[in-house]
Amino acid sequence: MLNQNRLGQIRAMIEDHGWDALLLYGHSWRKDYFRSLVNLNFQGPHAVVGVSRRGDINILLSDPWDLEAAAAITDARIILDPEVANGLTKGFLSAAGGVCAVAGLELMEARFVQAIREVNGQDPVSASREMEELRRVKSVDEIELLKKAAALADLGYQCFAETVAVGMKEYELVAEVEAFLKMNGAEDNFMLIASGGREVVGMKPPTEREFQRGDSVITELTPQINGYYAQVCRTLVLGTPSAEQKRSFSIFSEAQLAAQNLLKPGVKASDLARAQNDVFRKHGFGEYTGSKYTRVRGHCLGLYLDEDPYILEDVNYVMKKDMVLIAHPNTYLPLAGYMVFGDTLVVTGDGCISLNRTEKKLFEKEV
């Protein structure tokens, strides 16, 4: 269905920027710009929805399987054309000749951009940043969907912890968890994993490695419900944790809590990253807070699993009420290798709340 609240925001943005039309483009990996207005999990390789200043709404689909699903949720004009570049010239741009903005322009194939250029007589302008900013503050309905996704992430981690066993291969565990999540309503799930000890320097897709006694088994689970992703990050030890594993996890736990306790409207992303990094510095591990050992200290969540702004010390974006993000001090430490720990957080009027209910601890599995 069309997100009516978002449609109002889009129309106001078109007026504010003097655009004649705004297109929201999606492809099979990045559907978020399109789905921010039309909540259709399209199956084809491409989809575009256009809103003109005069009020027209057009949807361009590239796969016949998506036509019936789209017609069931909206009475907007729908064009079906496997050749998207051709479809863009078939009266789709109802504001032909005017300024056309595109959210997702950077994802478009060059021939699609050329088609817009030919119809409009000028290059389209990017509206990706403007749409990302519009999406950062979540509505009540969006937060409810994120709560459902977080609840499924918790169930997924419970399945993960109950299933993992010595001798099982990484890909076998991931297959079991993926199947569980899909059977319980996930449209998609982004999942990384790693296992071992000090030699583990990061997470990755699953391998043939067999789990061994004493391993740290780490994962981030990110299931998608009705378009929205929530995430949980946890570390589990097969057997009794060593002193180094316990000490390492205590640092991760302290760092994550420092960010969660600080998070509220007005706090900068850089403050959240610094709060986490300062914990590592305090314990003598400051050299492991840079890009050599870690990517980010968290990121926003929503219709895409890795939304801006990233939680980094050089990102000065000010957090707002009803933003949703994960704070996770995921990094390598020489004590016990790479570890992860994080919850999906909603910014409230005076702080934040976690949407996850998975216990905040270093998990242990008897072997």
* In a shared domain, residues 261 and 307: yes
**122 plus 152 within the same structural domain:** no
Classify residue 214 by burial, with Cβ atoms within 10 Å: 0-12, 13-18, 19+: middle
My answer on whether 90 and 205 are in the same domain is: no
Asked which of 135, 164, 180 is the last residue of a domain, the reply is 135
Average pLDDT, the chain: 96
pLDDT average, residue stretch 141-158: 98
pLDDT at 18 over 70: yes
Task: Indicate which CATH number applies to the domain containing 302.
Answer: 3.90.230.10
Whole-number pLDDT of residue 218: 98
E strand residue ranges, 143-214: 188-196
327-351 pLDDT, tens digit each = 999 999 999 999 999 999 999 999 9
Q: Residues 197, 79: one domain?
A: no
Residues 97 and 16 in one domain: yes
Which pLDDT tens digit goes with each residue over 48-61? Answer: 999 999 889 999 99
Q: What is the pLDDT of residue 94?
A: 60
Q: Report residue 201: phi and psi, to 5°.
A: -110, 0
Q: From 116, 135, 154, give the residue that closes a domain.
A: 135
pLDDT of residue 172: 98
**Which pair of tokens denotes residue 107?**
């994802």
Residues 105 and 185 in one domain: no
Confidence of residue 95 (pLDDT cuts 50, 70, 90): low
Predicted TM-score (pTM) of the model is 0.95
Report whether pLDDT(262) > 70. yes
pLDDT the model gives residue 96: 65
Which residues lie below 8 Å from residue 186, measured CB to CB, with a gap of 6+? Answer: 152, 156, 223, 224, 225
Quote the number of domains for the chain. 2
Same domain for 221 and 321, yes or no, is: yes
Of 173, 165, 23, 162, nearest to 100 (Cα)?
Answer: 23
Residue 7 half-sphere exposure toward CB, CA atoms < 13 A: 16
Q: Which residue range(s) make up the domain with 20?
A: 4-135
Q: Residue 107's domain is classified under what CATH number?
A: 3.40.350.10
Same domain, 124 and 180: no
Residues 240 and 339 in one domain: yes
**Banded pLDDT at 89 (limits 50, 70, 90):** confident
Q: Is 260 found in the same domain as 243? A: yes
Q: Name the domain boundary from 98, 113, 135.
A: 135
Q: What percent of the chain has pLDDT over 70?
A: 99
Q: What is the pLDDT of residues 180-237, one digit of tens each?
A: 999 999 999 999 999 999 999 999 999 999 999 999 999 999 999 999 999 999 999 9
> Do 257 and 321 sit in the same domain of this protein?
yes
Whether 162 and 310 map to the same domain: the answer is: yes
- Across residues 7-30, what is the average pLDDT? 96
